[in-house]
A and B are shown apart, each in its own frame.
Chain A
């Protein structure tokens, strides 16, 4: 059972455009939703995260939008740059359960073309 579904699998965006990656979750007990960025040969790096008590969080060019009733959240990358080309993973965890283990989506490979 895949608890976090991520789409699209791959995305091609022109430089300067907006990249949008979507995730949907099933377990309503999830209360922490981070996004990770992974470059080839590297480990995932924490990019930005949100809790369900807010509907949006922005850090620089990266914005998370959160819709609790729809059990969906998305990552928006504004003014996408070739350096943003990487694989992005959404994740979810339950922070009050004693373990903060992450459940990941399958990932989105983003290519930003000049």
Chain B
């Protein structure tokens, strides 16, 4: 158990809908990273928040957004969902010192029908 929690574990929704994925980092970690894992693209970095502020953006679609709250939990919002958004979404947390070792949560499996 990495200490990172994600909810929900599974999510099934229809095209055009909006969903929110939640992540709680390990105790003491200030950074939250979001990654998308799909069969064709592999694991791809989406976005990072550090202590409430956006720090880095990767291959994140404009339909996707995230935020980190004062208690350091983070939410990833996916809107106008398309079939191609079906994937596993992971968050990872890190202290962001030295090498910034990242510890991943169990993921949320999103299925868009």
Q: Interface on A for B, CB 8 Å cutoff?
A: 32, 34, 36, 41-46, 49, 51, 89, 93, 95, 98-107
Q: For the complex, is B8 an interface residue (Cβ under 8 Å from A)?
A: no
Residue of A nearest to B98 (CB): A95
Residue of A nearest to B46 (CB): A101
In the complex, the number of residue pairs spanning A and B with C-beta atoms less than 8 Å apart equals 66
Give the top 10 A-B pairs by smallest Cβ distance, nearest first: A100-B100, A99-B56, A43-B104, A104-B43, A101-B45, A106-B42, A44-B104, A32-B99, A43-B106, A43-B107
Please judge, given known A-B contacts A100-B94, A101-B33, whether A45 and B45 are in contact too, CB under 8 Å.
no
Main secondary structure of the interface of A (DSSP, over half): loop
- Verify B56–A44 contact, CB threshold 8 A: no
Minimum CB–CB distance for A108 against chain B, Å: 11
Chain B, interface size category, equals 20 to 34
- Verify A49–B99 contact, CB threshold 8 A: yes
From the candidates B45, B96, B101, B105, name the one contacting A103 in the complex (CB within 8 A): B45
Residue of B nearest to A101 (CB): B45
- What are 7 A-B contacts defined by CB distance under 8 Å? A43-B2, A43-B4, A43-B105, A43-B106, A89-B42, A100-B100, A106-B42
Residue of A nearest to B90 (CB): A43
Minimum CB–CB distance for A29 against chain B, Å: 14
- Verify B106–A34 contact, CB threshold 8 A: no
Which residues of chain B have C-beta atoms less than 8 A from A99's C-beta?
48, 50, 55-56
Q: For the complex, is B64 an interface residue (Cβ under 8 Å from A)?
A: no
Please judge, given known A-B contacts A95-B98, A95-B99, A101-B33, whether A44 and B43 are in contact too, CB under 8 Å.
yes
A99, B47: Cα distance in complex, Å: 10
